[in-house]
A and B are shown apart, each in its own frame.
Chain A
Amino acid sequence: DADVTQTPRNRITKTGKRIMLECSQTKGHDRMYWYRQDPGLGLQLIYYSFDVKDINKGEISDGYSVSRQAQAKFSLSLESAIPNQTALYFCATSDLQGGVNEQFFGPGTRLTVL
């Protein structure tokens, strides 16, 4: 969905490096999410935010941190990258319109940690 963008799209880094993945949205949604997908698996929730002042841990937050700089921006950081953080990372947004949490996904960032 072009309304949700992620940068970079691909990144190769080395163990121990700090990495930041960025997500921007023009949908005007309050809620933003970061997911991780490993090959052949579903999505696991890392962190989520319901508004600028709200940050919540997901299922697999260890080794990650986030920052909600504005309603439109939600960044994910790997403080010290390790090889098992190699994965596809997705950002998503929602607005709970009609009481429904339909989520809109960005194109993903493919991260490789050597």
Chain B
Amino acid sequence: SQQGEEDPQALSIQEGENATMNCSYKTSINNLQWYRQNSGRGLVHLILIRSNEREKHSGRLRVTLDTSKKSSSLLITASRAADTASYFCATDAFFSGNTGKLIFGQGTTLQVKP
């Protein structure tokens, strides 16, 4: 079963615009991570936010986490054509201290038009 539900499933914007993707999850978590996947390739870790954090920045990326709503958002500012990829949230759910598994959402496919 998928813990993460991502919205929208697909997003198309012009270069220079901002892109926002949302992720909702169901169970308590230790942290939430965002990954990027270029077409047909392996996933690459982008950024992690812990359950006691509300916002985090890394370059043009901004992640927010609202544990009361069990949701997170990823904002990519000043998008570039090279940002075209699929983006996945992954939750590290809390199992009595065993953070052994990540549960991935279905992803948002972002297209940035030059």
Chains A and B are bound partners: yes
Q: Is B114 an interface residue (CB 8 A)?
A: no
Residues of chain B within 8 A of A107, CB atoms compared = 41-42
A62 an interface residue at 8 Å Cβ cutoff?
A: no
Chain A positions 39 through 60: 1 when the CB is less than 8 Å from some CB of chain B, otherwise 0: 0111111001010000010110
Which residues in A have their C-beta under 8 angstroms from that of B45? 102-104
Chain B, 28-52, contact with A by CB distance < 8 Å: what is the 0/1 string?
0011010000001111110010000
Size class of the B contact interface (CB-based, 8 Å): 20 to 34
Asked if B41 and A108 sit within 8 Å, CB to CB, the answer is: yes
Name the B residues within 8 Å of A1 (CB-CB).
42, 44
Q: Do A48 and B40 form a contact, CB below 8 Å, given A42-B106, A100-B31, A104-B45?
A: no
Whether B41 lies near A103 (C-beta < 8 A) is: no
A59 to B93 Cα, complex, angstroms: 14
**Cα distance, A48 to B99, chains bound together (Å):** 12
- Mark interface residues in A56-98 (1 if CB within 8 Å of B CB, else 0): 1011000000000000000000000000000010101000100
Cβ contact within 8 Å between A102 and B104: no
Provided the pairs A42-B2, A42-B88, A90-B43 are in contact, do residues A103 and B105 lie with their beta carbons within 8 angstroms?
no
Measured between alpha carbons, how far is A23 from B48 in the docked complex, in Å? 25
Chain B, 87-114, contact with A by CB distance < 8 Å: what is the 0/1 string? Answer: 0101010000001111111110000000
Which residues of B sit under 8 angstroms from A31, Cβ to Cβ? 100
